[in-house]
Chain A
Amino acid sequence: MSVAATPAPAPARANLGGQAQTLPVALEIARRSLILITRLPSAFIPSIVFPIFLIVAFSGAFNGIVELPGFPTDRILNWFMPLSILQASAFAGVGIGVGTARDIETGFYDRFLTSPTSRSALLLGPAIAAFARSLLPFVAVLIVGVAGGARLTGGPLGLVALLVAASGTAVTFALWCMGIAFRTRSQRAAPIMQIGVFFTIFLATAQVPIASMTGWLQDVARVNPMTAVLRLARSGFLGEVTWEECWGGLLAITVAMALSAWWAARGLRKLIP
């Protein structure tokens, strides 16, 4: 069955209009999005392969930066593994955005809009799918990282912090990219979504801590919320997990998710004739 011909999830108890139907429909939309992983693997495989390449290339090429004065770890993988996982999560979100644009282009999304589906389910479903899609690269990169020498210094709580940061990043970027898809209605907007990820992540503490930076990047990274999210993600790999290390990231994720949801909801409203 073609991607476009994948049946739209039947709204459970259509037209009731109550909150009760939102979650089941959202789960069906998420399930459809996950089924597409097996139907269109070429669109999903890079989101696993590229972060693995990134962790290998960065930790191999930039191994020497652990010698920088004040660098917080002597294990380069402890620094770059959380970065790779967050990037993979962001690209899981981009995948959702591109998928939405594809559905709009093929006319499939019109079927959602003409069905008595809760509008919030159209946002919640892809957000759930983004979370689920981010779990695969999360596990894959974690296995490669730990096999390569990354060590969890903050115990199981560190893993929870990394998971929260990763899933929050995936959902935020999914909603953000859906907002772009709703406005552009074209898969050709994919580079805009990808560039957004690249700039947000690399204009933060992706490569080195703020103290090791020089010039303009130090100022940009300091105000970039992704710096706080990276701190949360790395908290279990650079020492003990403390509230001081985590609260900024949790706040950044909460605010970014809320803003992205608002951006996506406004875009969806514009899409409705």
Chain B
Amino acid sequence: MTLQTSAALGLGHEHERALHPAAQARALSGRAVRGLFRAPQVWIPSLVFPLFFAALSTAALGRAVEVPGFPAADSFLDFLFPATLTQAVLFGSLGAASELAHDIESGFFDRLIASPVARSAILVGRLAGAAVLGAIQAVVFVVVFSAFGAEVKAGVGGMLVLPVVAVLLAIGLGAVASALALRSGSVEAVQSAFPLIFISIFASAAFFPRELMRGWFHAVATYNPITWMIEGLRHLVLVGWHTRDAATAIAVPAVISVLGTALALRSLRKRLASTS
């Protein structure tokens, strides 16, 4: 590892030789997390906007819970809890991937690959940053939603599932966006992916129940895996603990993170091949 790169990772000279790949990944993860907190423009919007949207939608659509066919819910805020978390993770993951693209644009990525650092550690570091932000978002949202009267009917078990889902989804979406960052090497290109991921969330049952959708939109939402995840989480929030719902809610982001990470590793190999 070069001296400058070691300094950027917060390592002393004694660490420059023979760092185990796990230690390298840990150092890069630490850098990603520290970088995240030093960039409020990444994490503040990912908390503020979803919360504002939740407040707005609850005030605008609060009476929708009285519409025949709407799932039994104490309030629209309860109903919206899983969607708000998903939306926040989307914002945060794109922010983390943008930081990777920024590393490429600024030349830091080239310095990393010029050093004897394990290639996978570069990716692991960035995804760790997204995962930490996802966990923080889940905890903040549980606290804020509870303060405004929302209740997770599944109790402590349900509350534990929320951060697990947030972390897995952050890794999954972060990996997909990182693949784009590695392919394009451009912050702007990563940001341009926002509408695509936003559409995938909107074309689900995230913001309104599937029971009240009609026609082709209902069909799209039914086959959208985001719907399966959201409905699993929503059942935990609105009804109570059900193992199958918890398993579905966790399985969907787990699969997205496995596929996303494979895609990102492939993109990393391609970038390394093109720069060597």
- Residues of A in contact with B (beta carbons under 8 Å apart): 46, 49-50, 53, 56-57, 60-65, 67-69, 202-203, 206-208, 212-218
Contacts and interface: CB of A to CB of B under 8 A. Distances in A.
B132 to A, nearest CB: 25
Given A68-B64, A203-B56, A217-B60, 12 more contacts: A46-B195, A50-B195, A60-B203, A60-B216, A60-B220, A62-B208, A63-B208, A64-B211, A68-B66, A208-B61, A212-B63, A213-B59
Contacts of A56: 217
Given A53-B195, A214-B62, A64 B202 contact: no
9 contacts: A64-B208, A69-B66, A202-B56, A207-B61, A212-B60, A214-B58, A214-B62, A217-B56, A217-B59
A230 to B, nearest CB: 13
B57 A207 contact: yes
Contacts of B23: none
Nearest to B56: A202
B67 A213 contact: no
B62 A213 contact: yes
Nearest to A59: B217
B69 interface: yes
B225 interface: no
Contacts of A207: 57, 60-61
Contacts of A69: 63, 66
A216 B217 CA distance: 31
Given A57-B199, A215-B62, A217-B59, A63 B214 contact: yes
Contacts of B213: 60-61, 63-64
A217 B71 CA distance: 24
A22 to B, nearest CB: 38
A208 B195 CA distance: 24
B68 interface: yes
Contacts of B57: 207
**Most chain B CB inside 10 Å of its own CB: which residue of A50, A64, A206:** A64
Given A64-B212, A67-B212, A215 B59 contact: yes
Top 6 A-B residue pairs of the complex, sorted by shortest distance between their CB atoms: A64-B212, A60-B217, A217-B59, A214-B62, A207-B60, A57-B202
B60 A57 contact: no
A253 B63 CA distance: 30
B123 to A, nearest CB: 29
B78 to A, nearest CB: 14
A214 B59 contact: yes
Contacts of B211: 64
A74 to B, nearest CB: 12
Contacts of A217: 56, 59-60
B56 A63 contact: no
A202 B59 CA distance: 11
**Most chain A CB inside 10 Å of its own CB: which residue of B56, B69, B209, B213:** B56
Contacts of B209: 64
B70 interface: yes
B67 A208 contact: no
A216 B59 contact: yes
Contacts of A53: 195, 199
B207 interface: yes
Nearest to A202: B56
Contacts of B214: 63
A111 to B, nearest CB: 28
A98 B61 CA distance: 33
B59 A64 contact: no
A190 to B, nearest CB: 12
A29 B56 CA distance: 39
Contacts of B70: 64
A218 B60 CA distance: 8
Nearest to B60: A207
Interface string B48-91: 00000000111111111011111000000000000000000000
B60 A213 contact: yes
Contacts of B217: 56, 60-61, 63
B202 A68 contact: no
Nearest to A49: B195
Contact of A61 (B66, B69, B202): B202
B63 A62 contact: no
A48 to B, nearest CB: 13
Contacts of A216: 59
A60 B227 CA distance: 14
Interface in B186-226: 195, 199, 202-203, 207-209, 211-217, 220-221
Contact of A208 (B60, B69, B215, B216): B60
